[in-house]
Amino acid sequence: MEDYKLLIDLHKGANRQGPGGDAETEKAINLAMLDRTAPLKIADIGSGTGASTILLARLLNARITAVDFLQEFLEVLEGRAKNIGLSEKITTLVCSMDNLPFGDEEYDVIWSEGAIYNIGFEKGVMDWNRYLKIGGLLVVSEITWITASRPSELQNYWAGEYPEIDVASSKINILEKNGFSPIGYFVLPEHCWLDNYYRPMQNNFKNFLNRNGNSEGARTIVEAENREIELYEKYKNHYSYGVYIARKLG
Ligand SMILES: C[S@@+](CC[C@H](N)C(=O)[O-])C[C@H]1O[C@@H](n2cnc3c(N)ncnc32)[C@H](O)[C@@H]1O
Q: Cα(70) to centroid of ligand 1, in Å?
A: 8
Residue nearest to atom 25 of ligand 1 (CA): 70
Q: pLDDT at position 147, please?
A: 98
Q: Quote the CA–CA distance of 126 and 156 in Å, as a whole number.
A: 27
* pLDDT over 70, % of the chain: 99
Contact 150, 232 (CB under 8 A): no
Cα dihedral sign, 4-225-18-78 = positive
Q: Quote the CA–CA distance of 250 and 133 in Å, as a whole number.
A: 9
156: pLDDT confidence band, cut at 50, 70 and 90?
A: very high
Cα→Cα distances 147→116, 169, 236, Å = 21, 11, 10
Pocket of ligand 1 (CB under 6 A): 16-18, 20, 46-48, 51-52, 68-70, 73, 96-98, 113-115, 118
Average pLDDT score over residue span 16-35: 98
Write down the pTM of the prediction: 0.98
Average pLDDT score over residue span 228-250: 98
Q: Which of 69, 92, 197 to mutate to test the pocket of ligand 1 (most atoms within 8 A of CB)?
A: 69
Q: How far apart are the first and last CA of the chain?
A: 42
Q: Which residues lie below 8 Å from residue 232, measured CB to CB, with a gap of 6+?
A: 193, 194, 198
2: pLDDT confidence band, cut at 50, 70 and 90?
A: low
> Does pLDDT of 1 surpass 60?
no
Angle at the Cα of 65 from the Cα atoms of 58 and 197, rounded to 5 degrees: 65
Average pLDDT score over residue span 121-129: 98
> Does pLDDT of 161 surpass 60?
yes
> Does pLDDT of 250 surpass 60?
yes
Q: Cα(33) to centroid of ligand 1, in Å?
A: 25
- For 42, the enclosing helix (H) or strand (E) is strand 40-45
